[in-house]
Amino acid sequence: MAHSQKILITGATGFLGSNLTKALLSKGYEVHVLKRTQSDLFRLKEVMSSIQTYNIGEAILTDIFEQVKPDMVVHCATDYGRKEVDPSVVIEANLILPLRLLELCQKNGVKAFINTDTFLDKGINYYSLSKKQFKEWLATYSSALICINMTLEHFYGPFDDRTKFVSFIIEKMLARAESIDLTEGNQKRDFVFIDDVIEAFLKVIEQVGTLENGVYEFGVGTNKQIPIRELVEMLQKITDNTTTRLNFGAIPYRKNEVMESNIDTFAIKKLGWEARHSLKDGLLHTVSLEKQIRK
């Protein structure tokens, strides 16, 4: 697909979406951002002159599609449900909004819809349930457009939201917190650096023009899992923290906790993608930049 194509992206003010927006602009794509009125634009401040933004609620979605005429919609927006919110709030962000976008894609002849999915079991929480429910809805539109589902392992990187696990641990370590309450930490996770995740999205987007209508699944991860306990201990060493007490076992595992994540990365690797950053290198880079903003 030519780089002059128009992409309408949701979640562009978040960690994943902002990094993807910048990468798309650098590749010459025309990027239009669909956001909530209250969203903070600080992650996009250096590219604001290069994008067009539309506020959900102020503009009617139908009018936005007619005005932009996007060739592709990339859905990165999500509500993790970490704040004390009603299930309906999570469902609105993770199911109702993207479903409405799918309807408009079909009505307006949009070529492709790319969804961002989680590796978590649907029984973990409202977030994972709503994401898996939307994946089922996505498949029902496969005769009308290219439906792509990007299932991401646990991605991380500099300046991610502090509610995300890796960023939370880094923040606590750099602040020399007295202690951190944790589970036993035996869950094995595949931690993938944000730059590698963005490269995976770009690989898929570049291939859209070669695909026919249907459902396509791309798992993104390094295929290297380590226990969360090891990750935390690694970060303690990287941050030169010798004082924070790690209270493993203070928090019980979640119901239906995934004890080992292992998604299928065959499809994305077939496109020529490989994770280029080792976990240690990614964490060192992340901690280095996080230290700079604390000075």
Q: What is the DSSP string of the chain?
A: --TT-EEEEESTTSHHHHHHHHHHHHTT-EEEEEEETT---GGGGGGGGG-EEEEETTB-HHHHHHHH--SEEEE-------SS--HHHHHIIIIIHHHHHHHHHHHTT-SEEEEEEESS-TTS-HHHHHHHHHHHHHHTTTTTSEEEEEEE-EEE-TT--TTSHHHHHHHHHHTT-SEEEE-----EE-EEEHHHHHHHHHHHHHHGGGPPSEEEEEEE--S--EEHHHHHHHHHHHTT--S-EEEETSSPPPTT--SB-----HHHHHTT----S-HHHHHHHHHHHHHHHH-
- Token couple for 96: 């109702």
* Sequence-distant (≥ 6) Cβ neighbours of residue 50 within 8 angstroms: 25, 31
According to CATH, the topology of domain 6-156+193-222+259-276 is Rossmann fold (3.40.50)
Low-confidence residues in the chain, pLDDT < 50: 1-2
- Token couple for 111: 């070529």
* Sequence-distant (≥ 6) Cβ neighbours of residue 113 within 8 angstroms: 72, 73, 75, 101, 102, 105, 138, 141, 145, 146, 147, 148
The amino acid that residue 163 corresponds to is T
Cα separation, 2 vs 160, in Å, equals 31
pLDDT for position 286: 98
Write the pLDDT tens digit of every residue in 52-65.
Answer: 999 987 779 999 99
Cα separation, 80 vs 91, in Å, equals 10
Write the pLDDT tens digit of every residue in 218-265.
Answer: 999 999 999 999 999 999 999 999 999 999 999 999 988 989 988 999
pLDDT for position 2: 46
Phi then psi dihedrals of residue 56, to 5 deg: -65, 130
pLDDT for position 3: 55
pLDDT for position 50: 97
Q: What is the pTM of this model?
A: 0.94
pLDDT for position 294: 72
Side-chain half-sphere CA neighbours of 117 within 13 A: 27
Strand partners, 126: none
Nearest CA to 110 out of 147, 138, 69 is that of 69
Cα separation, 6 vs 213, in Å, equals 19
pLDDT for position 89: 85
Task: Indicate the domain borders of the chain.
Answer: 6-156+193-222+259-276
- Residue identified by tokens 């449900």 is 81
